[in-house]
Structure 1
Amino acid sequence: MKVITVDELKKKIRNNEDIDDIDVVTTATCGIMSGTMGVFHIPFNTIFKRAKRIFLNDIEGKVGVCPNEYLGKVDALFYGEVGFLFKDLVKGKEVEAKAIDDNNNIHKVRITINDLNTAKMIGTRMAFKNYMAFTNLGDPMDTIFNRFKLKKGEVTFSGCGEINPLENMVIKDEKDIIGKRALLNGADALILGFGTRSSIERPNIMISANMKEMDSYYLGGFYTSGGIEIYNTVAIAINVKEHREALMKLDKDIALPLVNIFGRDIIDKTNYSEVWEDVDLRPKINIDRCKNCKTCLAETYCPTEAIKKKEDKIIVSEDCFGCGVCKICPYGVFEIKLGSVCGIPVVCRQSDRKRALDLAKELKRRIINEAKKSGDN
């Protein structure tokens, strides 16, 4: 069995190479995926009848439907501004759980993810079959699609283009995807079916995986002017014979509509080659241009908290998303080409091809190893 990653496949297609000997292609996408929730079973050191409110690191969740009466345990759902919280949990960091019971007594305990009997992530709308680009025709506006207020003459976009799993699949019915395996943030995952706001023309998936098996590199928080969002990474293996036609598409073949942030009216249309060809996936750092500002703007406003300024050094961690917000530095310490949409420059990228391709490569490795174990070469 021959397995290659999606970027290896697209390179072959661009070079007009034969792909008949390829059996499986590993595809992936990474980006802001708002419809993400965690389902947890949280133990406390005290016994109480039942909780009416529940918190993790002061982020409030929703008490689950199971009452767990007089057990001192709480089933809970957490969603919304949970990106940094979920990353800390997956990293194994200790967090504070707090429950308020029916009598308004407060119960606190320090826990890690290993203390949770259940820690499942459910993505209610993930791996959207690409998305759109946003601009603003009115006054500056707070939005989840930009780190700052979105102004006239600016564009942000989401979608990984030609490497997106659903862009490389032929889906005629929800039954085509239910029960398929995937990787969600590095953990073995199960596709539950279509997600919310999904359609045959613009599908997305509902997917679940055990957070205890996840790799913290593939998920995290992302600050926007509209609040904290969460990014995730999804990889899916695709059978070439079943989906050959879809796999042949390149960025230039995939539409990228430009819409007004208010109302989502389509202003113009282009394709994903404008934002993914001849661009940088990570910034270049020109340390010689640094003026050692008292407040480093790039560090202060980095959406993923990836930039740390220490004396005469700038440290960019693996949390870098390649969003391009660091270009805010007035002295050009950070350089990154982000492309444009219909002639309007991109100021913030909310999808990360580097992470996606890293997970596609990991999925390829796992498939090959499984094949070797089973004797299927």
Structure 2
Amino acid sequence: MKSVYEINEKIMNGEAVVMTAGEFKESVREGKAPSLSDVDIVTCGTCGVMSGTFAVMTVPVAQPGTFRRCEKISLNGVPCFPGPCPNEGLGTADIVVFGTTHASEKYGGGNLFRDIVEGKEIKVVAESEGRVYENEIFSDDIMSARIITSRSAFKNYSAFLNCGKSPFNTIFSVLPLGGGASEATVSGCGEINPVQNDPTLRFLKSGAKVLLDGAQGRVIGEGTRSSDKKPNLSAYADMKDMMPEFMGGFVTSKGPECITTIAAAIPVTDEKCLEDLSVLDCDIPLPVVDVVKRDDVGTSDYGRIWQGTDLKVSVNPLNCLFCGECPANLACPTRAIMPGGGIIQSRCVSCGTCIRTCPGEVYSMDMGSVTFGESCAPVVLRQSDRSKAVEITEILKDMIERKEFTLL
């Protein structure tokens, strides 16, 4: 056995052996499962739509003494909740912003968070005692800003089908989900998800260090709706250290949602750790649920989603038909598609929407399928980005090896 303190000492001495979850799992598949002497830390990650994301910040509104208490406020049109501190006479407002609050059908809290981190101009509109105050600010003007997740990184999610006859608008799809159980939408990064590799939250407990949207933060505790069967995390980190490519908005057929990324370093202290870390995609059940009635209709597995499929969208610009208005560009939930067959990789989350909407078949990606009973449905939308999850595990590994991230 090894203790967390011993492994932490090895990190600080530059002696820790670190593997990403992908490297560890590949060794298991090859029949060369690492032993306690082979590895000290495994970095895990997940990236995708996580509705339970919000921000707490203090923003400048007007000159000190201008108003007593902010009664109503918005940032880039996104409604915010002022308080609880009145900041009387200071000209500032303490606010809470939900990642799923909508300014419009295409812009919400998740988009706002990314715009702040990218250093874009943010328009503040506030009301107090019948007067309206406006201000234009940038991230450096925001006195404090922290993102908190109320629930994130579920160990296991569900795949959704629409068993009804008519298409159905839902937060789990960009386009209406086709009827007759003909299409599936999925979430979850499977075997590399932090909670999947520490299912009892033995290490991912209150105070544990994590990366939240690329910034060093900590676990607050279990998130809302956490259970023994489906545990999840609540975490926080400062926005000023976040990486925009790991966050943002994601437009669904019911309005904008929020993209969040979490990575964690799991210490390998004993055989139980190795057992938990050895679980593969094909071993992880994926419940299949009717999105309308929320009835269970079967169980598939994550191997059908992430093994033998594509993690990223492939592009063939030569197929572009140069439509007047690019359908893929209009439908893209993260504004990653450029007319003419281009993709802004820092925005793309490989959801697959472009594949369904481009008439010229410029975009392609094998997204797998789910089984339920004797039936099978192709996946038409992924709400989780395994490629970005892999990337954040590699970033965390590098940080540990450079002694920039420790366990304690």
- The bucket for the TM-score relative to the shorter chain is over 0.9
Is the CA contact 2:46–2:262 (under 8 Å) kept in the aligned structure 1? yes
Quick check: 1:30 aligned with 2:60? no
Query: What are the residue-to-residue correspondences of 1:11-26 with 2, within 5 Å?
Result: 11-20=26-35, 21-26=38-43
Q: Does 1:129 align with 2:159?
A: no
Are positions 1:104 and 2:137 aligned together?
no
Q: Please identify, of 238-247 and 320-329, the stretch whose mean Cα deviation from structure 2 is larger.
A: 238-247
CA shift, 1:313, in A, is 5.5
Equivalent residue number for residue 7 of structure 2: none
Q: Secondary structure at the match of 2:338?
A: strand
Q: 2:368 aligns with which of 339, 343, 348?
A: 339
Mapped contact 1:307–1:317 kept (Cα < 8 A): no
Secondary structure of the residue that 2:216 maps to in structure 1? strand
Aligned twin of 1:271: 301
Structure 1 length as normaliser, TM-score? 0.95
After TM superposition, the runs of 4+ consecutive aligned structure 1 residues lying more than 4 A away are none
Identity of aligned residues (%): 40
Name the counterpart of 1:117: 143
Cα RMSD (Å) of the superposition? 1.6
| 2:22 maps to amino acid | D
Question: Contact 2:198–2:204 at 8 Å: present in 1 too?
Answer: no
Q: Is the 8 A contact 2:155 2:199 kept in 1?
A: no
Calculate the TM-score normalised by the size of structure 2.
Answer: 0.88
Residues 172 and 200, structure 1, Cα contact 8 Å, conserved in 2: no
After superposition, what is the alpha-carbon deviation per residue over 1:10-68, rounded to whole angstroms, capped at 9, x for unaligned? Answer: 00000111411111000000010001111010112332011110110011110111011
Aligned to 2:88: 69
Q: Contact (CA 8 Å) 2:55, 2:147: kept in 1 or not?
A: yes
Report the Cα offset of residue 317 of structure 1: 3.4
Which residue, out of 235, 240, 252, partners 2:282? Answer: 252
CA distance in 1, matches of 2:144, 2:316: 45
Aligned match of 1:194 in 222, 231, 241?
Answer: 222
Aligned-partner SS, 2:39: coil
> How many residues are aligned here?
369
Equivalent residue number for residue 365 of structure 1: 398
Give 2:261's aligned residue: 233
* CA distance in 2 between partners of 1:19 and 1:190 (Å): 28
Cα offset, 1:357, TM superposition: 0.8
Match of 1:241, SS? coil
Amino acid at match of 1:344: A
Structure 2: runs of 5+ lacking an equivalent: 1-15, 101-107
1:253 deviation in Å?
Answer: 0.5
| Aligned residue in 1 for 2:327 | 297
CA distance in 1 between counterparts of 2:243 and 2:126 reads: 28
The one-letter code matched in structure 2 to 1:141 is F
Paired with 1:286 and 1:226, the residues of 2 have a C-alpha distance of 30
- In structure 2, distance between residues paired with 1:149 and 1:18: 43
* CA deviation after TM superposition for structure 1 residue 189, in Å: 0.8
Who is 2:104 aligned against?
none
Q: 2:208 aligns with which of 162, 173, 180?
A: 180
What are structure 1's unaligned runs of at least 5 residues? none
Question: Counterpart amino acid of 2:400?
Answer: I
- Please name the residue that 1:211 is paired with: 239
Q: 1:87 aligns with which of 91, 107, 114?
A: 114
CA distance in 1, matches of 2:389, 2:196: 14
